[in-house]
Amino acid sequence: MLQRLTCFSVVLVAVGSAGGSELQRLPKSVPPLLGVAVVTNGGDTGKFSEWQIELSIPRIRWEVVGEMIPKKNWPELETEVERVVLTLRMGGPSQLAESRVLDVKGKELTREQVANRLAKETPVIVSASGQVPDPYFLQLTNPDAIVIVLGPRDGAPAPELLPAKREPSKKAKNGGKPPVERGTDEHPK
């Protein structure tokens, strides 16, 4: 029996080390958001002229409603989604760095390329951290996708745009009590 267990352990270690090299490393930043953007004011095309991009992002807030109990009786996860519209000011005189518009490989797009690609509402990837999204998050995106990295001029970093837990509602389904978290006296881990 001990020989079988040892042999099985050696096989697991060999398989684990062979497959482990194929795994993608985990990201070191927050995930980007998905939104819709359109150029709203092309203005004149002078070097220092200001132009605008209207960016719509869903702001998601969630709440667990009910008690933490076995899977067959799981509580609901209620979400609240509201539309946040940002007007990004591009170009023009300013001391603060503007937002950047990139392709998936990180190459900055020219004003003309942005105007052409965002002539109508177009899905975009948005980095609220002010940094280029980690390649981990861009693995499944279309190679033609547009990435908008919010700059300090437009409020980056903007953690308020990321999904977050909302305040418990007053009409919680478990008698108005907040959900019981695992690890408390009522529900040990």
Comparing 43 with 164, the larger pLDDT belongs to 164
- Does the pLDDT of residue 6 top 60, yes or no? no
List b or e across 105-120, with b for residues whose CB sees 16 or more CB atoms inside 10 angstroms: eeeebebeebeebbee
The burial class, CB within 10 Å (0-12 / 13-18 / 19+), for 33 is buried
pLDDT of residue 71: 72
pLDDT bucket at 183, cuts 50 / 70 / 90: very low
Q: Give 113-163 pLDDT, tens digit per residue.
A: 999 999 999 999 999 999 999 999 999 899 999 999 999 999 999 999 999
Distance of alpha carbon 139 from alpha carbon 93, whole angstroms: 36
pLDDT in tens, 166-181: 887 655 554 555 554 4
Query: Does 4 reside within a domain?
Result: no
Which residues lie below 8 Å from residue 19, measured CB to CB, with a gap of 6+? none
pTM above 0.85, yes or no: no
The answer to whether residue 83 sits within a structural domain is yes
Residue 13 lies in a domain: no
The predicted structure's pLDDT at residue 170: 59
Answer yes or no: is 46 within a domain: yes
Residue 6 is assigned to a structural domain of this protein: no
- The domain containing residue 92 runs over which residues? 26-160
Residue 166 lies in a domain: no
Q: Please tell me the total count of domains within the chain.
A: 1
| 3-state helix vs strand vs coil in the chain, percent to 5 | 20, 30, 50
In a domain, 12, yes or no: no
